[in-house]
Structures are given as structure tokens and as C-alpha cells.
Amino acid sequence: MIAHKGLKNRPTSGTKGRMVKTTSFSCSACGATHTRWSGRCDACGEWNTITQDAPLSTGPAKKSLGGKRGQSIVLSDLSTEETPPPRTLCGVEELDRVLGGGLVPASALLVGGDPGIGKSTLLLQAAARFARTGLKTIYVSGEEASAQVRMRARRLGLEDAPVQLAAETNLRDILTTLEAEKPGLAIIDSIQTMWADNVDSAPGSVSQVRAAAHELTSFAKRHGVSIIMVGHVTKEGQIAGPRVVEHMVDTVLYFEGERGHQFRILRAVKNRFGPADEIGVFEMTGKGLAQVTNPSALFLSERGKPSPGSAVFAGIEGTRPVLVELQALVSPSPHSQPRRTVVGWDSGRLAMILAVLEARCGIPFAGLDVYLNVAGGLKVSEPAADLAVAAALLSAREDTALPADTVVFGEISLSGALRPAPQTENRLKEAQKLGFTSAIAPAGGKTGTVAGLTLTRPSDLVGFVGETFGAG
Ligand code: TYD
Ligand code: MG
């Protein structure tokens, strides 16, 4: 018999193949859970990575989150018993809004983003802001030495901020420090560099990231500390990154932007304490990130005179209207399979709009390469952008510029009908504020009229094409 080296992980507790209910196994490489031990993980195919998880302790709890352990509380009791502690506003409006109106005490947050996008810069600046409001703040870096963090702080003009710095990666030491120091806010940069010494795999692996995030999240709840964790999103290894952490934390923010652009967008993709999809807009300058309080003006600032292929979409990001330019290019394709390239929008949605234009309006795009770009590095996900996309595509295809100073919005259905977009009035007001004089938006829904703005209300796509581009 050949002894497989993987057998060393086999559980030895002698239940002779009959599992106790609480026993479970997980793969230290991909995090998949299994009911039985085996030498190879079915999920990721790695050998010798499955280990038995420590069973959940069933002893009496030292502390519990509310009421006595095992007892439930009537909701109304809970709400009269204690009013929630106040949120802390850091004073940077763009950040406070994305947080849902300030930092909630005892909350766990994840800030994800590509390496080098500016997460450490953002959080060091935020740490300084929060510290200056009187909230005790600790910034724990697992990536840089304290001296390096201090150097960065000096460059950002924050050297006198009362932030405590620590360079540490051992989770146990960090939790001990936090317990002793009792800060109001702790920033952990980054979750991938942290390691729990009771978990038997390398830092950055799924098991480690999950264990560290779990420990930190429950520490936040138990000790009333707000903890912000930084997570790198890597192109190939998204799974080992923040994805496994997302469901554990209260709030997930993603820091987005194109490396070549100076604009950065902080987006709430999940928030237990505020609206999701809220965005904060920042600009990367030589002295760190500066907030941009009027993003519409910024996204439209690069717009030249009206040209074919350009349409201005009046969108809503979170609770705020944002105007953004959509740019399309349509050209004869040298390829048998024409190109469809999209930046900042959903490529499936583009395919749908091209299909609707062809089927309902008889405007073919076969044999034509189509490029679509959202200017400024913003990612648009609203269906209300459909009509603006169609406008940009047709304008590019017909080589006709859309009327100047016009915004477009509305959803296109597969039948070619147009659906009104929510918050029409807010969109129109924002357009008017930025000097636009006309708008094209579907009829129906709650009509908002805004003084100084001419409204065109097509009922379907055919009508829109006829009105905007003549015979189509
Ligand atoms: P960083 O915050 O280190 O990114 P992350 O933590 O997400 O990996 O940001 C690094 C980039 O930001 C780097 O390319 C340089 C740029 N930067 C500035 O442009 N201005 C500044 O003041 C700072 C501190 C960084
Ligand atoms: Mg960093």
C-alpha cells in the first residue's frame, strides 16, 4: 500500500466514518466546504487542501449582541430600549454621503479596488479627518512600514493629524492592540496581508481572508469599534479577494476609476445603513484626493462642440442626478464578425439595443464596428441610459450631431416601446442647472416640467428616431 501524503489531514477522531453533525471540512485554497474529507477538492481541483474545520463551540457565550443568550427580543422593545449612537461625519461631503450619512459606530466596512487606484490614500485622508473630529483612530498597515505611512501623510499635509499608526499583520496582535487602545475607528490596510495564526494557510488565501474578516467584523460588533478593511481586487483572483468578505460586512464600497484618468469614484455597492449605488466623486491630485462636489460639470468638462456620436445622459447615481456624456463610434468593419466594444456600460445591454434598433426601426448595424464609451471613467448601470445610448449610436451611424444643449434619458423595451425613468424631475432640474435647454424623455409616468427646458416626449423608439433624425 502506498501511503498518500494527503492522508495526514484525515480526521482521526474515531467515529468510524459516521460524522457528527457539526463536523465540516473546507478547502484552504478555494474555501469550498465539504461534508466529507477527501484528498482532492472537487471545486478547485487542488490536492491535499481539505482540512477539518473546528466545530462551533457550544459553550456558554461570554457576551451576546442583545438580550440574554438564546433569547429573542420584541422589536419594539429593542427600539425603545436604546437609541442608536450618533454617526460621525468626517466633513468630506462626498465620503459622508457614500457612507449613508456618516460613519456608523460598531460597523464593519470593506473598501475594495484595483491595486494602485488610491485606497490607502483615501483612507489615510479619511483617518485624519475622522481623528480631527475627536474620534480615536488607528491606521494599521500590513503593507507599508509606519515610516512610509508617515511619509505619505507628510506629502498629503496630514503629518499633524492625531492618527495612531501601526505596522502589523498578525491578527491576534492587532486585536489585542485594539482591545487595549479602544479606538472608535480602526483601518486595516489590507485584509489580504492579515493572517490569523490559528488558520493553517498563507496570508491572502481565501481561508485567511475569510477568517481575518470574520474576526474583525465580530470584534467591531462586540467592542463598538468601526472597522474599515481594505481589499485588493485582482484581475485573475477575484475569488481570493473581497468577494468572500462582502457578505460579512455591513457596507461594501468600491473605489473605481481608470488609471489614466484623474477621476475616482467611490461607490456603495452594499450598505446596511444607507442607500446602495450612492457615489462619491474624487480627483487624484499631487496632494492626494480632492472631492468633486459637482460631478456633472466635471464629466461634461471635456465635451467640445456638438459632434456626431455624442449624447448627454441625465442619470441618477444613488440619490443624486449626474449628467454624463456617452460617446459612440460606428464604422464599417473589416472583420467578418464586427467589433462591439464598451467601456463603462454593459455589453449585453448594448447588444440588446442594437437588436431593437434593427428589429423595430429597421436600422441595421451588421457589418459595422460599434464602440461605446462613457466619458470620465464612470460606470453607468441604469436602464434609463438606453435611450441616450441609442441616440449616441444613431448619431454616430447617421453622422449627424444631436441638437446642442439636449439631454436624453429613458428605458427601451424589447418591443421598441419607451418607459419613463424614475426621478424625471430631478434629472431635468440638474440639466437646467448646467445650462441645457431641451430634453428628450419618454412620455408617461410622473411628468416634471422645469422652467426654461423644452421637453420632447416620444412614446416609442420609432417616434424618437423620426423626431430626432428625420426619416430615420
Ligand atoms: P495608493 O493609495 O497607494 O493605492 P492603493 O492603496 O489602492 O494600492 O495610491 C497609489 C497611487 O496614487 C500612486 O500611483 C500615486 C498616486 N498618488 C497621487 O497621485 N497623489 C498623491 O498624493 C498620492 C499619495 C498618491
Ligand atoms: Mg495601498
Please list the pLDDT of the chain residue by residue as tens digits (472 residues): 444 444 444 544 444 444 445 577 877 777 778 888 889 988 888 888 888 776 554 445 444 444 455 667 677 765 555 566 689 999 899 999 999 999 999 999 999 998 889 999 999 999 999 999 999 999 999 999 999 999 999 999 998 999 999 999 999 999 999 999 999 999 999 899 999 988 888 888 888 898 999 999 999 999 999 999 999 886 654 545 677 888 899 999 999 887 777 889 999 999 999 888 889 999 999 899 999 988 888 888 777 788 899 999 999 988 889 999 999 999 999 999 999 999 999 999 999 999 999 999 999 999 999 999 998 888 899 999 999 999 999 999 999 999 889 999 999 999 999 999 999 988 999 999 888 999 999 987 666 677 788 999 998 999 999 988 875 4
Calculated CA dihedral for residues 20, 26, 32, 34, nearest 10 degrees: -30
**125 and 173 Cβ atoms separated by less than 8 Å:** no
185 CB near ligand 1 (under 6 Å): no
| Pocket lining: 287 vs ligand 1, CB cutoff 6 Å | yes
Q: How far is the CA of 324 from the centre of ligand 1 (A)?
A: 26
216-244: pLDDT as tens digits? 999 999 999 999 999 988 665 454 567 78
pLDDT value of residue 55: 57
- Distance between CA atoms of 323 and 297, rounded to whole angstroms? 8
Q: State the cell numbers at 404.
A: 446642442
Q: Is 116 in the pocket of ligand 1 (CB under 6 A)?
A: yes
Contact 46, 29 (CB under 8 A): yes
Cβ-based burial of 362 (10 A; exposed 0-12, middle 13-18, buried ≥19) = exposed
The second-level CATH assignment, the architecture, of 87-292 is: 3-Layer(aba) Sandwich (3.40)
- 405 close to 299: Cβ distance less than 8 angstroms: no
Q: State the span(s) of the chain assigned CATH 3.40.50.300.
A: 87-292
Closest C-alpha to 245, from 226, 258, 224, 228: 228
Locate 455 and state its grid cell.
421637453
CA distance 173 to 398: 65
Domain with CATH 3.30.230.10 in the chain: 298-469
pTM value > 0.85: no
CA pair distance 211, 348, nearest whole angstrom:
36
CA–centroid distance, 121 to ligand 1, in Å, is 6
In tens, the pLDDT along 410-431 reads 999 999 999 999 999 889 999 9
Q: Nearest-CA neighbor of 250 among 223, 271, 274? A: 271
Q: What is the CA radius of gyration of the chain?
A: 27
Contacts by 276-283, CB closer than 8 A, 24 or more apart: 276/318, 277/317, 277/318, 277/381, 278/97, 278/98, 278/100, 278/317, 278/318, 278/319, 278/320, 279/98, 279/317, 279/318, 279/320, 279/322, 280/94, 280/95, 280/97, 280/98, 281/94, 282/94, 282/118, 282/122
**Ligand 1 pocket check for 374: Cβ under 6 Å:** no
155 pocket-lining for ligand 1 (C-beta < 6 Å): yes
Do the strands 50-52 and 25-27 form a parallel or antiparallel pair, or are they unpaired? Answer: antiparallel
Is the C-beta atom of 403 inside 6 A of ligand 1? no
Residue having the nearest C-alpha atom to atom 2 of ligand 1: 118
Is 298-469 assigned to CATH 3.30.70.1450?
Answer: no
- The bound ligand whose nearest atom lies closest to the alpha carbon of 188 is 2
Ligand 1, atom nearest to 143 Cα: 6
